[in-house]
Amino acid sequence: MNDFAKVTLLGLSFTVLLFLGVVFETEKQHREETYEREMKISELEFQLQEATWQIELNNKEREAE
C-alpha cells in the first residue's frame, strides 16, 4: 500500500470516528434534556396534585361549616 493510500485511509478513519463522536454526543445531550424535561413534568404533576388535594380539603371544610 503506498503512502497516499495510507494517508487517505487514515483520513477517512478519522472522519468516521469524528462523525460517530458527534452523533453519540448529540444523542447523549438529547437523553439528558429529555430526562430533565421529564423530571420537571413530574414535579409539576406533583404540585398540581397537591393543589387539587388542598382545594378538595378547603371545599370539605367549607361544607362542614
Give the contacts of 21 (CB within 8 A, at least 6 positions apart).
none
C-alpha cell, 16: 468516521
Q: What is the reported pTM?
A: 0.65
What are the pLDDT digits (tens) for 4-52?
999 999 999 999 999 999 999 999 999 999 999 999 999 999 999 999 9
C-alpha cell, 50: 397537591
Dist. CA 40–CA 22, nearest whole Å? 27
Half-sphere exposure of 61 (CA within 13 A, CB side): 6
What are the pLDDT digits (tens) for 53-62?
999 999 999 9
Name residue 53's amino acid: W
